[in-house]
């Protein structure tokens, strides 16, 4: 299946919620330590000279590394990127690079590491930053709507509930995952999720109270927010820190994870033998994964080997 | 008069349209297709929702109705032009400052300083394409000293044959896993900071901006260095096990180099005629001159050889 060599190590990849052939990828020079970032829009063309291929449609350079990106749920050409200089940038892919970013939102004091667009109400997005805060933004406003304080260390990721328009969760280096309601001043639930930093989390799309967290302690834990005393399940199998977790938009209980052990894994936490598949196609840290909302079973990953892969579940990503 | 007014009105309308166009994204009108889990028959399996029922209206309105809204709260001191951006409802994208101009290298082609730096470092793939330094040295364990030095050799190849390049090469040498690679990147750290010098601003009108003053550029370099090491620290943190292995490898290296220096020091001292006596020497042969070495005895001569030495000196 198609792969694409990006100009720099990849940090995040996202399928468009509007066009099944379109992907967004955030890449950063020098492994995100210093240098520029690039936001790429890729097209998954069905037929090409060498079979299906990934072709770049747009490329937007930024002055600092990009750690995450997200498509707008309300407009098919709008997307947001989280930058290492503390800014959140909105891009319109129909405009030339000279007119982008269409909005530059500078409120975070440190690197913005995670970004997520509200998939239910579709009119707002969140940014998670190393300055220990999260911010809620609306694309029609020039400033953040509100700030969420409470974490005691960097916030690495934020994820909106797939079913509740006002609820989201955040993963932080203070070893906790927190559940928030935009109407409440503080977190509604604090889960001491792991003994190490929590790097990522996601909600089950089919069960609104199930949450998965991925941590530096190499494990993925599944939580029920109604009984957060103990995890529902613990998925072991990664050899290093788990960088991202993502629930399948199509199948209940199925989730995807990537790790610093350079593998991508598919899991079903409700099964006795939870690990469904392990992909070792990357030769470096895998930093970004996504599952297509429009095509069942279509997966994407990107990593520090500068490769972006798209493949259907069950096949070999490197098979052409 | 009426004509003038009409023209003015038209112009202002046009202007308003232009200004609002860039930011007018319909919020509720045109939305992504329904998600798979939102379709009929895909109801969740859990019981009552643990959350308060959702509110109606847009997210911004919901937040404002709840009284928790605090628009535009900045976390730290922000830059002056941001506040203007906040207060102005029809804002324009903030123009980038000259040193923020980005680009694939072309925007770095300024003065000789900048362009040389970036063409050698930032050239994608060439300097550290996955084949070269990264591929072979990064993941080999620390033991293969020679091969790992190849990593620093890469940086040393060009203009980095300097203290900086070699010291970070040293990291790579000690290294393991990601550490080696990151250490290698160190050379870039300073570079990132240097970038601001002499970048032409392709979008600016009129004469180029005045070069930043010494302190400004110095602080910028410092900022670049600090943020670089901050990111290294975060990466290390996210790889605690890798970090542990890295430290272990470094300690082992120091341990071995310590032994090496111990041996060298003894050798030099002997050349200088200083007699050093080791415990073992005293035990085994107190009469033997230190120069001939109980150490040598230990290393080269097995027990049976003691007799032969005795023969040489004794009789």
Per-domain residue ranges for chain B?
105-199+209-247, 277-315
In a domain, A78, yes or no: yes
What is the pLDDT at residue A220? Answer: 95
Task: Chain B: give the shortest CA distance to residue A132, in Å.
Answer: 9
Can you say whether residue B72 is alpha, beta or left, with left for phi > 0 and alpha for psi between -120 and 50 degrees? left
Query: One digit per residue, pLDDT tens: chain A, 320 residues?
Result: 788 888 899 999 999 999 988 999 999 988 888 888 999 999 988 655 556 788 888 899 998 999 999 999 988 899 999 999 999 999 999 888 888 889 999 999 999 999 999 999 899 999 999 999 999 999 988 999 999 999 999 999 999 999 899 999 999 999 999 999 999 999 999 999 999 999 999 999 998 899 999 999 999 999 999 999 999 999 999 999 999 999 999 999 999 999 999 999 999 999 989 999 999 999 999 999 999 999 899 999 999 999 999 999 988 888 76
| CB within 8 Å of chain A, chain B residues 130-149 | 130
What is the pLDDT at residue B128? Answer: 34
Q: What is the pLDDT of residues A276-299, one digit of tens each?
A: 999 999 999 999 999 999 989 999
Flag whether residue A162 sits within 8 Å of chain B, measured between CB atoms.
yes
**With the C-alpha atoms ordered A233, A236, A237, A240, is the resulting torsion angle positive or negative?**
positive
What is the pLDDT at residue B119? Answer: 29
Task: Chain B: give the shortest CA distance to residue A18, in Å.
Answer: 5
* Whole-Å CA distances, A68 to A34, A106, B16: 16, 16, 33
Task: Chain B: give the shortest CA distance to residue A223, in Å.
Answer: 13
Can you say whether residue B38 is alpha, beta or left, with left for phi > 0 and alpha for psi between -120 and 50 degrees? alpha
Length of chain A: 320
Flag whether residue B36 sits within 8 Å of chain A, measured between CB atoms.
yes
Taking each helix axis as running N to C, give the angle between helix B214-238 and helix B177-194, from 0 to 180 degrees, rounded to the nearest 10.
160
Q: Which residues of B touch A218 (CB under 8 A)?
A: 241
In a domain, A196, yes or no: yes
List the structure tokens of B29. 């009108």
In a domain, A119, yes or no: yes
List the structure tokens of A67. 């750690």
What is the pLDDT at residue B275? Answer: 73
Nearest to B73 among A65, A129, A147 (CB): A147
List the structure tokens of A266. 């598919």
Tell me the CATH number at A49.
2.130.10.10
Size of interface A-B (CB pairs under 8 A): 262
**ipTM, 2 decimals?**
0.80
* Whole-Å CA distances, A3 to A7, A138, A259, B218, B280: 13, 34, 19, 42, 65
Segment-wise mean pLDDT, segments of 10 residues, chain B, 315 residues: 48 40 48 80 64 87 88 62 33 40 33 30 31 31 30 33 32 33 35 35 47 83 87 82 83 81 86 69 46 46 50 53
Flag whether residue B18 sits within 8 Å of chain A, measured between CB atoms.
no
In a domain, A319, yes or no: no
Task: Chain B: give the shortest CA distance to residue A34, in Å.
Answer: 6
Which of A27, A59, A106, A145 is the best residue to mutate to test the B interface, defined by the most B CB atoms within 10 Å of its own CB?
A: A145
* Measured torsion, CA atoms of residues A182, A186, A189, A191, in degrees rounded to the nearest 10: 120
Task: Chain A: give the shortest CA distance to residue B276, in Å.
Answer: 49
CA A287 to chain centre: 9
In a domain, A318, yes or no: no
Domain total of chain A: 1
What is the pLDDT at residue A132? Answer: 92
What is the pLDDT at residue B42? Answer: 58
Q: Which domain covers residue A221, as residue numbers?
A: 3-312
What is the pLDDT at residue A270? Answer: 92
Taking each helix axis as running N to C, give the angle between helix B214-238 and helix B240-271, from 0 to 180 degrees, rounded to the nearest 10.
110
Q: What is the pTM of this model?
A: 0.64
Q: Which residues of B touch A182 (CB under 8 A)?
A: 59, 62-63, 66, 68
| CB within 8 Å of chain A, chain B residues 109-128 | 122, 124
Q: What SS3 state is found at B126?
A: coil
Question: What are the φ/ψ torsions at residue B271 (nearest 5 degrees)?
Answer: -60, -40
Question: What are the φ/ψ torsions at residue A183 (nearest 5 degrees)?
Answer: -90, -10
């Amino acid at each position: 299946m198609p792969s694409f060599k990006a100009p720099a190590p990849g940090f995040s990849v996202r399928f468009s919620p509007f066009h099944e052939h379109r992907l967004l990828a955030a890449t950063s020079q020098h492994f995100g330590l210093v240098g520029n970032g690039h936001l790429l829009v890729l097209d998954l063309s069905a037929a090409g000279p060498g079979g299906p291929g990934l072709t770049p449609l747009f490329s937007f350079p930024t002055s600092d590394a990009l750690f995450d990106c997200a498509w707008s749920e309300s407009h098919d050409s709008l997307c947001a990127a989280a930058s290492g200089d503390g800014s959140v940038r909105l891009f319109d892919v129909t405009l030339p690079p000279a007119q982008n970013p269409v909005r530059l939102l500078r409120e975070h004091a440190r690197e913005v590491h995670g970004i997520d667009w509200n998939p239910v109400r579709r009119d707002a997005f969140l940014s998670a930053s190393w300055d220990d805060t999260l911010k809620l933004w609306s694309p029609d406003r020039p400033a953040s709507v509100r700030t969420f304080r409470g974490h005691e260390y960097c916030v690495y990721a934020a994820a909106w509930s797939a079913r509740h328009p006002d609820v989201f969760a955040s993963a932080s280096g203070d070893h906790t995952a927190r559940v928030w309601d935009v109407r409440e001043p503080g977190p509604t639930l604090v889960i001491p999720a792991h003994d190490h930093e929590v790097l990522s989390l996601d909600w089950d799309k089919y069960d609104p109270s199930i949450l998965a967290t991925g941590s530096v302690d190499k494990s993925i834990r599944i939580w029920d927010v109604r009984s957060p005393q103990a995890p529902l399940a613990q998925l072991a199998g990664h050899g290093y820190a788990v960088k991202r977790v993502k629930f399948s938009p199509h199948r209940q209980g199925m989730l995807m994870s990537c790790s610093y052990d350079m593998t991508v894994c598919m899991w079903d936490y409700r099964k006795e033998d939870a690990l469904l598949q392990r992909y070792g196609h990357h030769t470096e840290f895998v930093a970004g994964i996504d599952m297509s909302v429009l095509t069942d079973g279509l997966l994407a990953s990107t990593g520090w080997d500068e490769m972006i892969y798209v493949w259907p579940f069950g096949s070999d990503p490197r098979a052409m | 008069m009426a004509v003038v007014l009409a023209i003015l009105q038209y112009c202002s309308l046009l202007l308003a349209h232009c200004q609002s166009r860039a930011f007018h994204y319909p919020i509720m009108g045109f939305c992504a297709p329904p998600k798979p889990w939102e379709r009929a028959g895909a109801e969740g399996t859990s019981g009552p929702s643990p959350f308060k029922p959702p509110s109606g209206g847009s997210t911004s309105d919901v937040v404002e109705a709840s009284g928790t809204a605090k628009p535009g709260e900045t976390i730290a001191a922000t830059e002056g032009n941001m506040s203007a951006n906040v207060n102005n409802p029809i804002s324009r994208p903030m123009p980038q400052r000259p040193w923020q101009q980005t680009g694939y290298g072309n925007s770095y082609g300024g003065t000789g300083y900048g362009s040389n730096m970036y063409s050698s470092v930032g050239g994608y793939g060439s300097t550290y394409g996955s084949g070269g330094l990264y591929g072979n040295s990064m993941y080999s364990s620390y033991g293969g000293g020679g091969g790992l030095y190849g990593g620093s050799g890469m940086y040393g190849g060009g203009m980095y044959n300097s203290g900086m390049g070699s010291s970070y090469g040293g990291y790579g040498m000690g290294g393991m896993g990601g550490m080696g690679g990151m250490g290698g990147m160190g050379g870039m750290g300073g570079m990132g900071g240097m970038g601001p010098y002499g970048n032409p601003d392709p979008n600016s009108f009129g004469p180029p901006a005045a070069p930043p003053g010494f302190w400004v550029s110095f602080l910028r370099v410092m900022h670049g260095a600090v943020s670089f090491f901050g990111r290294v620290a975060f990466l290390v943190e996210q790889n605690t096990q890798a970090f542990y292995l890295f430290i272990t490898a470094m300690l082992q290296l120091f341990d071995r180099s310590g032994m090496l220096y111990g041996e060298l020091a003894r050798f030099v001292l002997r050349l200088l005629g200083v007699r050093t006596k080791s415990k073992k020497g005293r035990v085994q042969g107190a009469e033997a001159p230190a120069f001939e070495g109980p150490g040598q005895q230990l290393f080269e001569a097995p027990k049976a050889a003691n007799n032969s030495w005795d023969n040489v000196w004794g009789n």
